Amino acid sequence: MSENLTFASAGVGAELRRWLAHLAAERRMSPKTVEAYERDVRQFLGFLAAHLGEAPSLKSLAAIEPRDVRAFMAARRAGGIGSRSLMRSLAGARSFARFLERNHKGKVGALAAVRAPKVPKTLPKPLTVSSAKRLTDTGLRAGEEREPWVLARDAAILALLYGSGLRISEALGLTREAVPTPGKGDAITVRGKGNKTRMVPVLPMVLQLIDDYGALCPYDLPDHGPIFRGAKGGPLNPRIVQLTMARLRGALGLAETATPHALRHSFATHLLARGGDLRAIQELLGHASLSTTQIYTAVDSEQLLQIYRSAHPRA
């Protein structure tokens, strides 16, 4: 965090540093999440500095009114940001305000008094079962000038995302020792959001694909190092997986919504469609709240309605 806090008084700056340290150490948020929270609060405080004519102090923060918060929202709207980004900005500011209140540094009641913008709910768009399975077919990329080990690596990662419902960061964070060899285990330990770990089952065919990749990989894969490597031997960049998925979208004629993260959605949706328990799916995905997992019940219901409309003679 920059030491030149021209957008805030010394007192607010000190509390901001304490809050960011709290998010990282006690809330165990990732560095990127902490950085996003800091950026949002800096924008809010920077607006107030210009709006009030001076860098806000703890006392002036407690004295702001709902109209000041609405003015901030209007300014951000004028800057071209959408409802989702604006809602995130307010969430960051409110989180900082709650921290101040818990630490007896004043209550910023105006932030709680203003309603956040409504964000239309968007349902995840899963792939079909057949499309998800075909993504691991290296024959689809026969025309690409890629080393066989790279094709094997990409097939293994995509199979893992769909087969175990992992986030890209979770898959690329796996070490060699975390993945059992075929026939010697059926689960992996994944480190997810907030540095929390969970056990996730893994299919034998996925383990075989990972093993095939390991046999072809030209780089050493020590037990404590990342199992998936980039072209030069370093940790694989998530962007490479996204570009791979984009190429496969073209080969399979899939929509732009067919991203690596859509494989995680597909995992959850297909499990639910086949009678999977919602609580079990929550655990497998590593969701802290069941309400996050419940979006998949809406996806499944929508698919059932589509089938009904297309198949029922009176629909």
- Tell me the pLDDT tens digit for each residue of 230-252: 999 999 999 999 999 999 988 88
d(CA 37, CA 203): 37
Active-site annotation holds for 70: no
The pLDDT value given to residue 298: 67
The residue with greater pLDDT, 123 or 56, is 56
Say if pTM beats, i.e. exceeds, 0.95. no
pLDDT band at 101 (very low <50, low <70, confident <90, very high): very high
CA distances, 136 to each of 111, 133, 196, 217 (Å): 48, 6, 29, 17
Residue 264 annotated to the active site: yes
133, 193, 198, 247: the catalytic one is: 193
Q: Is the pLDDT of residue 2 over 60?
A: no
> Which of the residues 167, 229, 265, 270 is marked catalytic?
167
Section 282-298 average pLDDT: 74
Question: How far apart are the C-alpha atoms of 297 and 260, rounded to whole Å?
Answer: 21
Q: Which of 176, 191, 198, 287 is catalytic?
A: 287
**At how many degrees (to 10) do helices 260-273 and 238-252 cross?**
70
Active site residue 104: no
| pLDDT at residue 124, as a whole number | 67
- Number of residues in the chain: 315
Q: What's the confidence (pLDDT) of residue 96?
A: 93
Q: Is 287 a catalytic residue?
A: yes
Query: Measured on CA atoms in the order 74, 76, 80, 85, is the torsion positive or negative?
Result: negative
Among candidate residues 261, 274, 309, 314, the one labeled active-site is: 261
Q: Is 312 a catalytic residue?
A: no
Q: Pick the catalytic residue: 105, 264, 265, 270?
A: 264
User: Whole-angstrom Cα distance, residue 12 to residue 18?
Assistant: 10
More confident residue, 232 or 300: 232
Q: What is the mean pLDDT of the chain?
A: 85
Predicted confidence band of residue 210 (pLDDT cuts 50, 70, 90): very high
Among 201, 207, 222, 12, CA closest to 108: 12
Report whether pLDDT(194) > 50.
yes
**What's the confidence (pLDDT) of residue 5?**
54
C-alpha of 310 from chain center: 34
Residue 44: both structure tokens together: 């809010």
Does the pLDDT at position 291 exceed 80? no
Domains of the chain (ranges, CATH numbers): 10-113 (1.10.150), 129-311 (1.10.443.10)
Q: Which of 44-53, 169-178, 270-279 has the lowest mean pLDDT?
A: 270-279
Active site residue 309: no
Give the relative orientation of helices 260-273 and 295-311 as an angle to the nearest 10 degrees: 70
d(CA 155, CA 210) in angstroms, rounded, equals: 8
Mean pLDDT over 122-145 rounds to 81
- Mean pLDDT over 249-271 rounds to 88
Q: Residue 4's pLDDT is what?
A: 45
Radius of gyration of the chain (CA): 24
